[in-house]
Amino acid sequence: MKNIIYLSIIISILFFACKKDTTPEKGTGDVNIISLTATDTVVNAWQETSITVVAEGDGIVYSWEANHGEIHGSGKQIKYMAGTCCSGTNTITCTVSNNTNNDSKNIDIRVLPY
């Protein structure tokens, strides 16, 4: 029985260890996305495209998400790329936020098979 208790403690420590909070400090006042553009909206598999967001507001935090494919970099401009696993029309979402509000915008990138 002792062994079970010890093992449970080890598992708990491993699985519920605290995660470091890396969220930057946010500002205040309204934030809005003015534009979200890509250098190419149709790309071949593994070809990259740059996506840039222009937003207004103070203390903006930029968050990025793709339903398929990969985002490299962070901030106002990122590189997007997808392999053959993710051919099709993929949606990249940019969210800008601060302590007051947030705003999101999508852009679709068509990834062709290799």
Partner 1 sequence: MKKIIIIISLNIFTYHLYAQCCGAGNPISGFNNVSGISKNSLMISSFYKHSYSDQYFAGDTKADFNPDKMYYDYLSFGVAYGITKKISVNGELGYFFNKTKEYNIHNYSPLKGNGLGDLELNMKYKLIENVIERIDITPSIGIKLPIGVFDQEVDNVKLPISLQPSSGSLKLNASVFATKKIADFSISVRGFFEYAKRIQSKNFDYKYGNLYLLAIYGSYKFNEKISVLSQFRYEYREKSVRENSEIVQSTGGQVVYFIPQINYVIIKTFGVSIFADIPIYRYMNGMQVANKYSVSIKLTKFFNLNKK
- The CA-to-CA distance between both ends of the chain, in Å, stands at 56
When asked if residue 3 is in the footprint of partner 1 (CB under 8 A), the reply is yes
Q: Which is nearer to partner 1, 41 or 91 (CB)?
A: 91
Q: How many whole angstroms separate alpha carbon 71 and alpha carbon 74? A: 8
Hey, how many other C-beta atoms are within 10 angstroms of the C-beta on 1? 5
Q: How many whole angstroms separate alpha carbon 89 and alpha carbon 74? A: 22
CB of 90 to partner 1, least distance (A): 9
When asked if residue 27 is in the footprint of partner 1 (CB under 8 A), the reply is no
Binding letters toward partner 1, positions 31-70, x by CB under 8 A:
---------------x-x------------xxxxxxxxxx
